[in-house]
Amino acid sequence: MTVRTEEELRAAIRREMPGVRADLERLVQIPGIAFAGFDHSHVERSAEAVAELLRGAGVPDVRIVRQGGQPAVIGRRPAPPGAPTVLLYAHHDVQPVGDLQQWLSDPFVAVERDGRLYGRGVADDKAGVMAHIAALRAFGDDLPVGVVVFIEGEEEYGSESLEDLLREYRDDLAADVIVIADSGNWDIGQPALTTGLRGIVNGFVEVRVLEQAVHSGMFGGAVPDALITLSRLIASLHDDNGDVAVEGLLRTPSAPLDYPEERFREEAGMLDGVQFIGSGRLVERLWTRPAISILGIDAPPTSGAPNALVPAAKAKFSVRIAPGDSAQQVYDALVEHLNRHAPWGAKVTIELEQLGEPCQIDATGPAYEAAREAFTAAWNGAVPVDMGIGGSIPFIATFQDLFPKAAILVTGVEDPETGAHGPNESLHLGEFERVCTAEALLLAKVAQLPA
């Protein structure tokens, strides 16, 4: 086997990038949305396309698998004698596009503007898929490690069948190092390893005060309506400063990074004059403290609403929980809070939708140092930072439980301008090449570690 030098791998990635981009654009054309109500034949097409890409990249054993959910792809290439094995994870499904009128171009046709490629899934996470393909192509027949490529098909829909898949194929997926390409970097030109992710608790709370709607003039002033009642209950979730007021939720320190307020305001699209909520450093509020949001309310629409007291109203809540906390304990604390703060004796019903555990990674040891060296080289001397993200990838905790001896590296292609899940999602093409280069260099460095 020929040992590839850093310069040879850089040159190989440069050579492969036109084909990698073309294949990425073809993947973007497949609207593989795993959400209920969408045509899941496109998810099947997406899995088939990924399987074909893996075969073309020199992975001999490729299977499309499922455990009651959407199709995932597993590809295996055995390790050379004495070499370690690396699991490469990404997902091929995408978010729904939302309001088409907010897109500047067809979301399923990749379009380049000002050095960025636009389209649904172009960054989250089809570029993650193609980063793995690019690294494999760069080595060709001289891959110095074993690889298991695992491309999931329903991550955006909550990975409902993922744990069953991981348990069913646990032996096939076993690896020394796991690379999860589904996060991002701190900034354009500044790479990062994600070492902390918040967990998630989603559910519904309903308040009921009447058996049926009644005349607002005849009964208003003595009888509460459900909307005012629900509003007061929701308001109890935060104190006047905007900090979460539910007792017992964990708050921990965060990485020593400075998140400039103006940068964050611009990235969030906050309107002039709107203030931040909560206390502490921005990175703590976003990464290592709980956050509660109300995602929707079921109530009569204002158009055509009668002069009647609403008997019941329902809200969907989403709680992001700090690394180190327990999703079940947070849910129990929230239930206790909502029942205790029910205004005026209203009947409260709480329904759980989803629990997802947070994740904290101890990013020390040989594999992490190899990653930092690879990233520093790919970004021409920019040393990667350790960062958290406020979003949740609950299955990382599952990987930690099932593969406790593996070093887990959470990487990605996104940057602050990507806009994942929103309209006009985009990928910085220069950063994408650096990501591909970094992964190739990482595999070369991991090959030098003991199996």
- Write down the residue that tokens 């208003």 correspond to: 220
421 contacts: CB under 8 Å, gap ≥ 6: 95, 124
Positions annotated as catalytic residues are 93, 155
- Report the alpha-carbon distance of residue 217 to residue 19 in Å, rounded: 69
**Burial letters for 38-62: b for 16+ Cβ neighbours within 10 Å, e otherwise?**
eebebbbbbbebbbebbeebbbeeb
State the virtual CA torsion across 43, 47, 49, 54 in degrees, nearest 10.
160
Q: Which residues pair with 190 in a beta bridge?
A: 187
347 contacts: CB under 8 Å, gap ≥ 6: 207, 208, 209
Helices (H) and strands (E) in the chain, counts: 13, 18
- Report the alpha-carbon distance of residue 132 to residue 89 in Å, rounded: 8
Task: Compute CA 154 distance to the chain's CA centroid, rounded to the nearest angstrom.
Answer: 12
CB 254 within 8 A of CB 284: yes
- Report the alpha-carbon distance of residue 431 to residue 262 in Å, rounded: 23
**Rounded to a whole number, what is the distance in angstroms from the first to the last CA of the chain?**
17
Relative to beta strand 407-414, strand 177-184 is parallel
- Report the alpha-carbon distance of residue 138 to residue 140 in Å, rounded: 6
Phi/psi at 74 (nearest 5 deg)?
-120, 125
